[in-house]
Structure 1
Amino acid sequence: MRITLCGGTGDIGEGLALRFAYDTDHEILIGSRDPEKARTKAAEYETELDSRGIETTIKGFENAMAADRADVVVLAVPPYHVRDTVESISDRLDSETILVSPAVGMQREKSGLHYNRPSAGSVTAMVAETAPEDVPIVGAFHSLSADKLANLDIALDEDTLLVGDDEDALDIVQLLAEGIEGLRTLYAGPLANAAEVESLTPLLINLAIHNDLHDVGVRFE
């Protein structure tokens, strides 16, 4: 499977790229608005994986080129870049491409971080609103720590919640996510439930801040 990480040069993009390449045999492409930056980071990821005995090729391209003919495109970009990123790649997407949204809108105040709900209702809904109508959308990876993902010395043992309306797309993202060792998926309902899932992220960060914890995740029992 070909997985493209648009914004794959950032924190969550790096973490997912390394885990997918370390734990699976999928083809990984790094996308960025700056293709040279994408190529540089892809080479860095290859070097890190090679140091751990994993020989793989990770390529970097401009976002639209990276998204072209991808099976799954992960929008590993900040929420304020989600809409323009989707618009920039929309002509490379079709009904066979699954668009995955992990972004969460947050606002920092003195008391901590708070969920910043966009006008569409959730960032995932904003993706669905912006993408071509026939492109299946799945929300996933919202509550994962980018630092924990990127540190391959840390064993994962946590859940990621999936939201989506397309059963086939959900099944594929479930298989993809659970290919990462120690990661379990749970279905949280249709896209209409995305806001509830996204709002978990600032809660987890606040728990980490106020309890001097690191790399907080969630496991449901």
Structure 2
Amino acid sequence: MELAILGGTGDIGEGLAMRFASDTDHTITIGSRDAAKATERASTYEERLSEHGVETGINGTDNSSAAAGADVVILAIPPHHVGDTVEALAEDDVLSDQLLISPAVGMNGDGDGLHYRPPSTGSVTEFVAERAPESVPVAGAFHNLAADRLADLEATLDVDTLVVADDPTISERVVALTADLAGVRPIPAGPLSNATEVESLTPLLINIARYNEDMHDVGVSFT
């Protein structure tokens, strides 16, 4: 499978790229607004993977080129840019039937911590679906994963990620894709309208980590 991670030079993009490259045989391409930056970062990821005994190639290019050649596009884009990114991809006519997955969460911070700040549509995932062409399926996943722990290949994962999608067959595709990641259990959580509740967990987890020194990379596990 051709997997593109747009915003692959950022924290969550890096973590997902490292884990998918390490745990699967998918072809990984990271995208950025700056193709040269993506190419350089891809080489860095390859070197780190090699140090852990994983010999695989990661491609780097601009966001449009990465999305054009992909079966699945993970939008590891900051929430205030993700809508414009999806619209730009549509304008570039590179979106057809790729599956878009959004892990973005709207948050703002103050002296007490981070607080959930959804867009007017209710959630960032729904906002992405609103901006995407009707023919392009959209799902939400990976919202509550700790980016630093994902990127650390020496760290063992034992976490759950909630998957939202309006079409059950799309949810099944995301679950199957995510199940390939060692230590990450995908759990269907219903349609996109439930993304608000899923996304709002992220600032809570970050605040828990902030106030508890022994819980730096806290995640969620449902039993």
**TM-score by structure 2 length?**
0.97
For 2:74, what is the secondary structure of its paired residue? Answer: strand
**2:85 corresponds to which residue?**
85
TM-superposed CA distance for 1:119, in Å, is 1.0
Residue 149 of structure 2 aligns with an amino acid whose one-letter code is: K
Equivalent-residue separation in structure 1 for 2:94 and 2:135 (angstroms): 12
CA contact (8 A) 1:137 1:166 kept: no
Q: Is structure 2 residue 63 aligned with structure 1 residue 63?
A: yes
RMSD between superposed Cα atoms in Å: 0.8
2:75–2:100 Cα contact (<8 Å) kept: yes
CA-to-aligned-CA distance 1:190-221 (integer Å, 9 cap, x gap): 00111000000001011111122210100001
Structure-1 separation of matches of 2:198 and 2:103: 10
Q: CA deviation at 1:21?
A: 0.5
Whole-angstrom distance in 2 between the partners of 1:21 and 1:171: 21
| Aligned equivalent of 2:203 | 202
Alpha-carbon offset, residue 167 of structure 1: 2.0
1:6-33 Cα offsets, whole Å, 9 max, x none, are 0000000100000000000000001000
Equivalenced residues, count: 220
Could you say which residue in structure 2 is the equivalent of 1:184? Answer: 185
SS, match of residue 28 in structure 2: strand
Tell me, yes or no, if structure 1 residue 211 matches structure 2 residue 194.
no
Cα displacement (A) at 1:156: 0.3
Q: Check whether the contact 1:5–1:31 (CA below 8 A) recurs between aligned residues.
A: yes
Instruction: Give the match's secondary structure for 2:73.
Output: strand
Distance in 2 between residues matched to 1:208 and 1:72, nearest whole Å: 31
Query: Are 1:42 and 1:60, in contact at CA under 8 Å, matched by a contact in 2?
Result: yes
In the TM superposition, structure 1's runs of 4+ consecutive aligned residues that sit over 6 Å from their partners are none
* Residue segments in structure 2 that go unaligned for 5+ positions in a row: none
Which shifted more, 19-28 or 209-218? 209-218
> Superposition pairs for residues 1-221 of structure 1, below 5 Å?
1-90=1-90, 91-95=93-97, 97-212=98-213, 213-221=215-223
In 2, Cα distance between equivalents of 1:27 and 1:45? 14
Structure 1 residue identity aligned to 2:66? A
